[in-house]
Structure 1
């Protein structure tokens, strides 16, 4: 069974047990490790993987062929994307008017949150949007190649080392505005497959990870792009939570709220199919 997910610690932590054949009766996985912008593209390509981790911002484009699974993804509180600028830059949303802003993907939750926030806080709107791999964004802001960067994942913990400042925490903004958790990364599976069985194997992999937190350490760090074990553990603690085991009513409400608001702004297609 083919699967694609990021090399980030939360994904490798969640899928470690299944990838390593530790889940009884689960099929062997053929894994592609890829940045979220790549997995978003794989989901709309011909003969895409059976299972993928994508951004919730990309979900409306794939629901004809793929179904959202109720587990394995990233959704929570206090874990939203940040807009970063160089130290000493004017810390005012209006400073982004007409500026170049780097984003990890135009079909990402981070991008949707940014555009929804900017519509109310950036007079005249931002200027050019530049898509680049998320690990390249902070150096580009530091070096003055772009004016601001929209960052995700472990950048929440490491941006001060790049002499950057947080202009706004979009997660805090979303939570204060909606009182809902932030839908970040979704696990989807092709509708032709046994979705219930796949969800069951993912839940078993999550439970194994929680019951054996040290078992995946070397696997996680091997794919963590020279990240320290402390940062990797902080990353896992932040993004792997009760919603990873099951989205529940609140999780689905958060997803629908994000995508319906984005559709009203013309950022995504209307969802006319059940999640």
Structure 2
């Protein structure tokens, strides 16, 4: 059976038991390690992968071939993307109206970060932003600093490093989303091909998550092998943040977060029309 997920610590921690034969009754897995932007594209175009992780924002394009597995993914709090501007002074709140008609760099147009940005901008930026420029994640902060772009949407570790570039926040989109909805941010979704037994796959993944929590040391070498020279304490913090109650089961709050995000995105024309309610069936 072919499975694809990222080499990030949360994914390797969750799937370690499953792909190493530690969950009884599972087949042998052929693993592809790929960034989520790659798997987003594969979900919309490939007919080879059986199980894969993508961004929830890419889910509407994947539904013809795949169905949402209600566990194994990533939802979180306090980990939202930031919109940054040049200038290090954060003592004066930024004016969102200053983004009207401006050029904004983003790392992907099929990501939850991008959907959150567009949903926030639709409410907060008069007339909307101007040009959206997709560029590699690592180029965004230097481009904002150097004035080649008016603002940038950043994720992950940039939350902790943006001040090194002389930048300041316009908005923390995670704070905005959580205060507006009371819900976690839907980040990564696990999909399975529609021809497979979804209930069986759910049981396998939940068993893998349970094993990971019961035997946290078992996956350490596997996690660090794929963690791209990440410090072990950073990898642990990454796992602790993204592997949580929603990983074991989406539950009511998890499904509410996913449906709210996608319903709003459909209403703004950011994703294709879809039957959001059917995700739970």
TM-score by length of 2: 0.89
Is contact 1:18-1:202 (8 Å) kept?
yes
CA change 1:20–1:146 in 2 (3 A) is: farther
1:74 maps to what in 2? 74
How far apart, CA to CA, are the structure 2 residues paired with 1:233 and 1:140?
A: 31
* Counterpart Cα distance in 1 of 2:136 and 2:240: 23
Question: What per-residue deviation string (whole Å, max 9, x for no partner) do you get for residues 168-222 of structure 1?
Answer: 1111111111112211111010010111111111111111221222332332233
Q: Distance in 1 between matches of 2:120 and 2:66?
A: 29
- Aligned 8 A contact 1:56 1:255 in 2: yes
In the aligned structure 1, how far is the partner of 2:145 from the partner of 2:224? Answer: 26
Distance (whole Å) between structure 2 residues aligned to residue 132 and residue 233 of structure 1: 29
CA distance 1:239–1:142, change in 2 (3 Å): farther
Which residue does 2:123 correspond to in 1?
120
Tell me the residue number matched to 1:250.
253
Whether contact under 8 Å (2:88, 2:166) holds in the other structure is: no
Q: CA 1:225/1:136 → structure 2, altered by over 3 Å: closer, same or farther?
A: farther
Q: Output one character per residue of 1:222-252: Cα deviation in whole Å (capped at 9) or x when no partner.
A: 3223332232222211111100000011211
Say whether residues 1:222 and 2:253 are aligned partners: no
**In structure 2, how many angstroms separate the alpha carbons of the residues matched to 1:197 and 1:136?**
42
How big is each residue's C-alpha offset from its partner over 1:110-160, in whole Å with a ceiling of 9 and x where there is no partner?
111100001122223222222234344445444554333222233334444
- Which runs of 5 or more structure 2 residues have no equivalent in the other structure? none
Give, in angstroms, the shift of residue 58 of structure 1.
Answer: 0.9
C-alpha distance in 1 between matches for 2:235 and 2:12: 11
Pairwise CA RMSD of aligned residues?
A: 2.1
Name which of 133, 156, 159 aligns with 1:153: 156
User: Within 2, Cα distance between the matches of 1:12 and 1:39?
Assistant: 15
- The CA distance in 2 between the partners of 1:19 and 1:78, in whole Å, is 30
CA–CA separation in structure 2 for the residues paired with 1:136 and 1:26:
42
Larger radius of gyration: 2
Q: How far, CA to CA, are the matches of 1:114 and 1:132 in structure 2?
A: 16
C-alpha separation in 1, matches of 2:58 and 2:43 = 9
Aligned counterpart in structure 2 of residue 232 of structure 1, from 217, 230, 235: 235
Q: Give the secondary structure class of the aligned counterpart of 2:70.
A: coil
Residue in structure 1 matched with residue 34 of structure 2 by the alignment = 34
Of 256, 259, 262, the residue aligned with 2:262 is 259
What is the CA distance between 1:84 and its match in structure 2?
A: 2.7
- 2:182 aligns to what? 179
Unpaired segments ≥5 residues, structure 1: none
Number of equivalent positions: 275
1:272 aligns with 275
1:213 aligned residue (209, 216, 230): 216
- Matches of 2:48 and 2:28, distance apart in 1: 17
Q: Report which stretch shifted further, 186-195 or 214-223.
A: 214-223
